Each structure stands twice: as C-alpha cells, then as structure tokens.
C-alpha cells in the first residue's frame, strides 16, 4: 500500500492529538491538585490565515509549552540557553512547527532512515509549503542519540548544526523527539525566521 503525503500528515496529526490529550489530562490533574480553576487551558494549534491564504505562525509559547514532552522541554532550554550566552534572543516555540518536527522524527523511526528528504514527507520546504507557512529563513537539524544532552552536544560540535541553533535570523522553533531508531531517540529541530 502506497502512503500518500496526506495519509502521513493525518497519522502524524493523530499522534500529535494523542500527545495533546495527554498534556491536557496532566494540566487538569495539576489544576485539580492545586484547586485553582484558572489553570485549565485549551490546547490547540493556533494560526492566523493571511489575506493570501497562507498561514502566518502565531500562538503563545504557553500553548506550545503545554504540549512539549519533558525531553523536548530540556532541548528547548538547552537551545535557548546557548543562544542567550551568545547574546541572541530566545526562540519562540510554535505548535505547528512542533507537529512538523514530530512528524519528521516519527517518519524516520517508522521507515528506518536518517535524512532530510523523505519519500512521504518530502523536504522541510515541502512540509512548510503543504502547510502554507510563510517564512524568510528555515533550517532543520536532525540528530539521533540516547538522550537530549548527548544529542545537543553532537549538534553543537557540528559547525552547520551549531550555526542553525545560533542563527540570529530565526525566531521560531519546533522540536520533535521520538523514541526509537538505531540511536535510541530521533530528534528533529525546525528553525524559522
């Protein structure tokens, strides 16, 4: 059975929805424990449709943080810490980029490959085009490692990957970490400016 791009996106969105539901349940438990109803949040992908029909990424970091796994949170902290030490602004998380990054990591694990081009998803440029996302600058880092710390160290030792992390022209970030593959975890980072 040949998988189409739309089928892969639907499968990735289903996985993302499951993660969102888990995050929603965790937030509800936290709110119940603290007995503070203001902690209940609606978690959803937020985007604004521009007049040209293309999506401009918007939404709050709070919404994106709510759906991150603990490992993804660690990676975001490492990236932003490194950027701040270099005198750069922190990157803003984006829910859509997180979904695309998770989809890419899932695809690499499921189909046992490591690379920027997928038979199902295409390149990062094709993924962004299919989502009608407008951008000036885009970069994608891929890394396999047993944990986030080792992954980040590997990325920072590579001049190309390091330059993506420390690119002053990128403003938004999506992280997708999926367990599996020959390295233990497959990690995709998407940077957008």
Q: Of 133, 125, 122, 191, which is closest to residue 160 (Cα–Cα)?
A: 191
In the predicted model, what is the mean pLDDT of residues 130-152? 96
**Percentage of the chain modeled with pLDDT above 70:** 66
Tell me the per-residue pLDDT of 24-58, one tens digit each, with 9 for 90 and over.
333 333 333 233 333 222 222 223 222 233 344 44
Q: Encoding tokens for residue 143?
A: 């890394």
Helix (H, G, I), strand (E, B) or coil at 19: helix
pLDDT of residue 46: 29
DSSP-assigned letters across all residues of 80-127: HHHHHHTT-PPPEE-HHHHHHHHHHHHHHHHTT--SS-BTTTB-HHHH
User: Which helix (H) or strand (E) is 183 found in, with range?
Assistant: none
CA distance 103 to 128: 12
User: Which helix (H) or strand (E) is 181 found in, with range?
Assistant: none
Q: Specify the higher pLDDT residue, 15 or 99.
A: 99
pLDDT of residue 115: 92
CA distance 173 to 9: 19
Residue 152 pLDDT exceeds 90 = yes
Q: Encoding tokens for residue 64?
A: 């994106």
- Are 165 and 141 contacting, i.e. CB atoms less than 8 angstroms apart? yes
The DSSP secondary-structure symbol of 54 reads P
Q: How confident is the model at residue 62 (pLDDT cuts 50, 70, 90)?
A: low
pTM of the model: 0.70
Q: Encoding tokens for residue 137?
A: 């600058």
User: Strands, DSSP E only, in the chain?
Assistant: 47-49, 55-57, 92-93, 138-145, 172-179, 185-192
Q: Of 78, 69, 71, 99, which is closest to residue 154 (Cα–Cα)?
A: 78
Tell me the per-residue pLDDT of 98-132, one tens digit each, with 9 for 90 and over.
999 999 999 999 999 989 988 888 999 999 999 99
């Amino acid at each position: 059975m040949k998988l189409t791009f739309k089928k892969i996106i639907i499968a990735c969105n289903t996985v993302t929805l499951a993660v969102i539901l888990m995050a929603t349940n965790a937030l509800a438990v936290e709110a119940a424990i603290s007995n503070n109803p203001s902690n209940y949040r609606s978690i959803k992908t937020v985007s604004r449709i521009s007049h040209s029909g293309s999506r401009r990424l918007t939404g709050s970091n709070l919404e994106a943080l709510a759906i991150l796994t603990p490992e993804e949170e660690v990676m975001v902290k490492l990236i932003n810490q490194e950027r701040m030490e270099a005198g750069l602004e922190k990157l803003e998380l984006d829910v859509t980029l997180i979904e695309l990054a998770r989809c890419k990591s899932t695809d690499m694990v499921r189909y046992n490959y490591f690379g920027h081009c997928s038979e199902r998803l295409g390149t990062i440029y094709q993924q962004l085009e299919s989502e009608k996302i407008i951008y000036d600058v885009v970069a994608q880092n891929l890394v396999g490692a047993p944990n986030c710390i080792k992954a980040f160290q590997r990325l920072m030792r590579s001049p190309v990957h390091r330059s993506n992390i420390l690119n002053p022209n990128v403003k938004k970030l999506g992280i997708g970490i999926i367990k599996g593959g020959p390295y233990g975890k497959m990690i995709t980072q998407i940077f957008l400016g």
